[in-house]
Amino acid sequence: MTPMLEAFLPTIAGFAILLFLLALRMPIGLSLIAVAFFGIALETNLRAAIGSVARLPYELATNWSFSAVPMFLLMGFIASESGLTRGLFSATRILLARLPGNLACASVLASALFAAASGSSVATASAMARIAIPEMLRRGYDQGLASGSVAAAGTLGSLIPPSILMVLYGVYADVSIGALFLAGVLPGILSVIIYLGMIVIRCIKDPALAGQGGGAEPEERPPLWVVLRDITPLPLLAAIVMGSISFGLATPTEAGALGALGAIVISALMGTFRLPLFLSALRQTAITFASIFIIVIGGALLTRFVAVAGLNTALSDLFADSVLGPIGLIILVSILYIILGMFIDSIGLLLLTAPLILPMANAAGVDLIWFGIILIKLLEIGLITPPVGLNIFVIQSTMKGAIPMPVIFRGVGWFIAMDLLTLVILVAFPAITLWLPSLMN
């Protein structure tokens, strides 16, 4: 047996077992841990496997970069619990009142602003679904456009910083999380613009999609200060986080803590802060972080198993001898992520595939900041692809089945096409991603 085959067979067998366990609905964190533990034991010995399980959680818990995750979670939950996100949809609706399909456009813009505080795609989709979809349906909007705009815009929580996925990728790829945050700004804005352009064009061509009158609302606007009061808190939080990182005043973890403190101060000034709400935010942060941490432990153990099996070296050698190049790698990874994204959630998929693709990216000489943004964009697409797009199920659950699942999938089809267009632009023009990080350097 060749060294290449010796490296590939144990890993392929492990991943096959892992996918089988996931198909049986075993939690992804436990599946990762089980496969990695027994894989390490078979490749080395039981004592080494036990040592890895005992040591890795401690190493992760003491990783300063990883501690940014609970800080950003806390900031998002405080903003949500204290009502800082409540007026977003109304304010963006007023700002975009003259656009065809203005309610769908407002959903996209409000989701982008919400994402700047939450860092979570699922939280963004859930919050906007409760607010925006009923209003769109009441105005006669097409069900597919109403649900699709919220489901797709919810994915912006992964790309617009601060992002939990960016923190996890930065830890695994050993790249600057601050640079990743800056790299996500322009791609996030580009995604919003392309979404808005598609909605406006479709509603101009078919006004019935946005109800009678095409969705434009020439209604009387409230005073400007009311609109600014509702829309300012979340951009202000994002400015605190990104500004402190960009100017070198704080690490990502410290910036997350500043963001959480800023959310408390802003909500107190607006009169919406309450101690029970703060305690609820702490509880939700602990629960969410615990579930993420288990998956991260499993991903770290799987990385150790892949390294022990020798697959990292084998893949690096194989890719170095190939003629695929960076673009070929992007195409292969895109196919892999779009297929697996249909069945596995974004955090699990990132941690599942990182041990395989990062050695290949290093061998291809790909910029890991740019590569990380491409991966996160692909993970976004996976959140809305059938048959298991997580945001789709969030929308249907929030709406209590009022919109049939096939209608939601039909609605997100246009947005998936726009995501693919955005992806092509980001691959063709890396400067869009790398310009802001180069300023920080």
With 0-12 CB in 10 A as exposed, 13-18 as middle and 19+ as buried, what is 406? exposed
Which of 66, 73, 67 lies closest to 282 in space, CA to CA? 73
Beta-carbon contacts of 265 under 8 Å, excluding residues fewer than 6 positions away, are none
| pLDDT for residue 199 | 93
Kind and range of the H or E run holding 99: none
Which of 77, 89, 81 lies closest to 119 in space, CA to CA? 77
Q: How long a stretch of residues is the chain?
A: 441
With 0-12 CB in 10 A as exposed, 13-18 as middle and 19+ as buried, what is 99? buried
SS3 label, residue 106: helix
Q: What is the pTM of this model?
A: 0.81
- Break the chain into its structural domains and give their ranges: 1-62+294-309, 63-273+310-440
CA distance 88 to 432: 28
Beta-carbon contacts of 264 under 8 Å, excluding residues fewer than 6 positions away, are 78, 82, 273, 278
Beta-carbon contacts of 174 under 8 Å, excluding residues fewer than 6 positions away, are none
| pLDDT for residue 52 | 83
For tokens 């697409």, name the residue: 381
CA distance 425 to 422: 5
| pLDDT for residue 233 | 78
Q: How many CA atoms lie within 13 Å of 316's alpha carbon, on the beta-carbon side?
A: 13
How do the pLDDT tens digits run along the chain, 441 residues long?
555 566 667 777 877 888 788 778 788 788 888 888 888 888 888 888 888 888 888 877 777 777 888 888 888 888 877 777 667 777 777 778 788 888 889 889 888 888 777 666 777 777 778 788 888 888 888 888 988 898 888 888 788 888 888 888 988 888 888 899 899 999 999 999 999 999 999 999 988 888 765 555 545 566 666 666 667 777 788 788 888 887 778 888 888 888 889 888 888 888 888 888 889 888 988 888 888 788 788 877 887 887 777 765 666 666 555 556 778 888 888 888 887 777 677 777 887 788 778 878 887 788 999 999 999 999 888 878 876 677 787 787 777 777 888 888 888 889 999 999 999 999 999 999 999 898 876
Structure tokens at 284: 């939700």
